[in-house]
Structure 1
Amino acid sequence: MFEQIDCPEAQRLVEAGAQLVDVRGPDEFARGALPGAQNIPVQVMAQQAGQLEEHKPVVLYCASGARSTQAQMLLQQLGFPEVYNLGSIQKYYTC
């Protein structure tokens, strides 16, 4: 249920219209983020989940995969049906 997806799958989802969300802090986001990503830090995800479209897939990432796993669990608890965890931002560059 909380398995990470691989880079090609994440790219396919984003190309098909999934929302790409960086759950790291604003400072980390400012130092470098994936193209098209929006920043919703995991610490404020519950309060800011309304920025996301609930019925559009969501692809999450962070620095190591721990925070994106937390965000995935939270969004699923909030009723988001399609939430995917890329894990580490570095995985994206393995494609």
Structure 2
Amino acid sequence: MIYVLLGIIIALFGYGLYNFFYQKKVLTALTQEEFIKGYRKAQLIDVREPNEFESGHILGARNIPLSQLKMRLKEIRADKPVYLYDQTGSRSGRAAIILHKKGYNQLFYLKGGFKKWTGKIKVGK
């Protein structure tokens, strides 16, 4: 029994470690300054839920929540850079894995997420 539990814990740890390094490989972290320099020429995607988006988002962002991303891939062009952000940066990594598996290669995210953003924002839709 204890070996089964230990095996499950090791498997979960291994999976988490794999995802961590996979995200690092497919996703480029940008500081706010770097993000500002490039996001107007890219597709700016907020992967937070709609209520979070409506409470405030980066000017020009489209809301495609992580929970809907697989169903809404046609809204994102694979031939243009994709700039992702969420509240803290964790959901952007999961979104990047989904996008990379579907052929998206120019993936960037805002280090620290919206929580650290000090640029222009818009409240509401």
- Normalising to structure 2: TM-score of the pair? 0.69
Distance 2:59 2:52 in 1: 14
Q: Classify the secondary structure of the residue corresponding to 2:30.
A: coil
Please say if residues 83 and 107 of structure 2, whose CA atoms lie closer than 8 Å, have aligned partners that are also in contact. yes
Work out the number of aligned pairs and report it: 93
Q: CA RMSD in A?
A: 1.4
Task: Report deviation, 1:13.
Answer: 1.2
1:6 and 2:69 aligned: no
Spell out the pairing of 1:33-72 with structure 2 (5 A cutoff): 33-72=57-96
Aligned to 1:80: 104
Say which structure is richer in helix. Answer: 2
Name the SS of the counterpart of 1:4 in structure 2: strand
Deviation at 1:3, TM superposition (A): 4.6
Structure 1 counterpart of 2:84, which letter? L
Structure ID, larger Rg = 2
User: 5+ unaligned residues in a row in structure 1: which ranges?
Assistant: none
- Conserved 8 A contact 2:28-2:107: no
5+ residue gaps, structure 2: 1-24, 120-125
Deviation of the 1:46 alpha carbon: 1.0
Identity among equivalent positions (%) equals 31
Amino acid at match of 1:25: E
Q: 8 Å contact 1:6–1:91 — kept in the other structure? A: no
